[in-house]
């Protein structure tokens, strides 16, 4: 099993309220970018549904230089209708993110980051490292 040190939160950079399914994100990555699979391990849709993307055992393609020891989690949204960065998470997405991140930390350990902590992008349009710094293991 890969050693996991980071759980990296992303946004899809799709407009607020636009219902994008994991199948569309996978199409972007496979058909448009030519990747072998979706880059994220999990995608959280607008209704809070957590969808499995790339298997965790396989290195992701979501954060250059950090894929070897991380899990990529993407929520749908992240920009307003003018394509400007905005935290567009629905209440269902917020709840699902907390639950998923807690479960991942329980299982794999690591620290939660936002993609912005490793790139010049504003992704995921909020400070994930700060917001989720108190997520800890459940015993």
Active-site residue identified among 10, 26, 41, 105: 10
Active-site residue identified among 92, 94, 108, 121: 121
Active-site residue identified among 6, 74, 115, 132: 115
Active-site residue identified among 11, 29, 41, 123: 123
Q: How many residues in the chain?
A: 139
Active-site residue identified among 40, 62, 75, 132: 40
Active site residue 40: yes
Q: Are 110 and 102 in contact (CB under 8 A)?
A: no
Sign of CA dihedral 79, 92, 61, 103: positive
Active site residue 86: no
CA-to-CA separations, 109 to 1, 4, 71, 79, 103, in angstroms, rounded: 13, 7, 11, 30, 9
Active site residue 115: yes
Catalytic residues: 10, 40, 115, 121, 123
């Amino acid at each position: 099993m890969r050693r996991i040190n980071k759980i990296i939160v992303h946004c899809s950079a799709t407009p607020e309220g636009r219902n994008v399914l994991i199948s569309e994100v996978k199409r972007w990555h496979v058909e448009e970018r030519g990747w072998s699979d979706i880059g994220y391990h999990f995608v959280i849709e607008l209704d809070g549904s957590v969808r499995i993307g790339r298997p965790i055992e396989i290195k992701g393609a979501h954060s250059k230089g950090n894929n070897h020891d991380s899990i990529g989690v993407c929520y749908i949204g992240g920009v307003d209708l003018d394509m400007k960065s905005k935290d567009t998470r629905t209440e269902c997405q917020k709840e699902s993110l907390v639950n998923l991140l807690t479960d991942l930390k329980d299982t794999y350990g690591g620290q939660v980051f936002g993609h912005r902590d490793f790139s010049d992008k504003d992704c995921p349009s909020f400070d994930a490292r700060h917001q989720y710094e108190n997520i800890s293991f459940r015993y």
